[in-house]
């Protein structure tokens, strides 16, 4: 996680030149409570500028000292996937790396929603804290109000305090960043408690999209009960 934070920190300026990045979560949930989870850090909207910027140069002192941060993303995600794989009920934990489109993440299958919660505690660095982010029973998924990726944002901001030349860049990066949560169900969704989400035409996919800043500050509602 610390290496991932340093990589995001190094990318603050080139990302702000054009757009930002997005945290996207996809949960594929079956009626029996098993499923698959994927988390992706998506920089694809900034692809053009990132391809043009020579981030191995020394034109921006103090950022990467001759190292291309994207070259580290593969190993960072591999490490995250390995840590998740140690959790009970987790299988096929793998790094998801698309260098061409600047998309990096992890994916794994889970035996139960309880196993998913334990995996998220590991990957989001929530050790020792509340970890029932989701609960599931008889075709009903409940998400609580906790934003478990706060650990990532708080640590990045904390690290930026020691780098005066990029503190404002790091803050602005999060002001622009997006957050998307998508639930793919095995059947048709019949009930949604959070009216801020959208439902696909075939009623099988629930999508929630907002700014990362709003989620982090608690200005949007994450709590939801979805029945399918």
Q: Give the pLDDT score at 182.
A: 98
Q: Is 226 exposed, middle or buried (0-12, 13-18, 19+ CB in 10 A)?
A: buried
User: What is the C-alpha to C-alpha distance for residues 5 and 153, in angstroms, rounded to an integer?
Assistant: 9
For 31, the domain range is 2-227
> pLDDT digit of tens for each residue in the chain (228 aa)?
445 545 555 555 455 444 567 889 999 999 999 999 999 988 887 666 665 554 444 454 544 444 555 667 788 788 889 999 999 999 999 999 998 888 889 999 999 999 999 999 888 776 655 578 999 999 999 999 988 876 555 544 444 444 444 455 556 666 778 899 999 999 999 999 999 999 999 999 999 999 988 988 889 999 999 999
Q: Give the pLDDT score at 102.
A: 82
How much is the pTM? 0.81
Taking alpha carbons only, the member of 49, 4, 13, 1 closest to residue 163 is 13
How many domains is the chain built from?
Answer: 1
Q: Give the pLDDT score at 4.
A: 53
Q: Give the pLDDT score at 7.
A: 53
Q: Give the pLDDT score at 46.
A: 67
């Amino acid at each position: 996680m610390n290496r991932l934070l340093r990589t995001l920190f190094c990318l603050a300026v080139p990302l702000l030149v054009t757009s930002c990045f997005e945290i996207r979560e996809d949960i594929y949930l079956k009626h029996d409570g098993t499923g698959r989870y994927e988390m992706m850090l998506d920089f694809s909207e900034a692809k053009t500028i990132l391809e043009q910027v020579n981030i191995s140069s020394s034109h921006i002192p103090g950022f990467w000292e001759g190292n291309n941060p994207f070259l580290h993303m593969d190993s960072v995600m591999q490490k995250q996937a390995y840590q998740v794989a140690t959790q009970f009920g987790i299988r096929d934990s793998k790094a998801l790396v698309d260098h061409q489109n600047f998309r990096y993440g992890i994916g794994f299958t889970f035996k139960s929603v309880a196993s998913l919660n334990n995996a998220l505690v590991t990957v989001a660095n929530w050790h020792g804290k509340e970890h029932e982010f989701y609960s599931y029973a008889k075709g009903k998924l409940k998400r609580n109000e906790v934003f478990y990726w706060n650990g990532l944002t708080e640590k990045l901001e904390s690290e930026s305090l020691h780098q005066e030349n990029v503190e404002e860049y790091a803050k602005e990066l999060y002001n622009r960043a997006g957050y998307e949560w998508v639930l793919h169900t095995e059947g048709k969704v019949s009930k949604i408690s959070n009216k801020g989400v959208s439902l696909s035409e075939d009623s099988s996919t629930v999508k929630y999209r907002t700014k990362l800043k709003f989620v982090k500050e608690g200005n949007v509602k994450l709590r939801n009960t979805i029945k399918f």
